[in-house]
Amino acid sequence: MRMVFRWFGEGNDLIPLEHVKQIPGVEGIVWALHDIPVGEEWPFDRIEEVKEQADLHGFNIDVVESVNIHEDIKLGLPSRDQYIENYKRTIEKLSQVGVKVICYNFMPVFDWTRTDLFKELEDGSTALFFENEKIKDIDPLELVKEISSNFTQTMPGWEPERLKYLTKLFELYQEVTEEDLWNNLQYFLEQIIPVAEENNIKMAIHPDDPPFSVFSLPRIIINKENIERFLKLVDHPANGLTLCSGSLGANLNNNVAEMVREFADRIHFAHIRNVKTYENGDFIETSHRSSDGSVDILSIMKAYHDIGFTGYARPDHGRHIWDEKCRPGYGLYDRGLGIMYLWGIWDSLERMKKEEV
Could you give the residue numbers annotated as active site? Answer: 206, 244, 271, 316-317, 330
> Where do the H-state alpha helices sit in the chain?
17-20, 44-55, 71-75, 80-96, 132-137, 140-149, 160-163, 166-173, 178-198, 224-233, 245-249, 256-262, 297-306, 332-356
> Are 322 and 12 spatial neighbours (Cβ–Cβ below 8 Å)?
no
Residue-wise burial string across 258-296, b where 16 or more C-beta atoms lie within 10 A, e elsewhere = ebbeebbebbbbbbbbbbbbeeebbbbbbbbebebbbbb
Nearest to 113 by CA among 263, 281, 243: 281
> Are 153 and 305 spatial neighbours (Cβ–Cβ below 8 Å)?
no
Strand segments (E) across 247-296 = 267-271, 275-277, 283-285
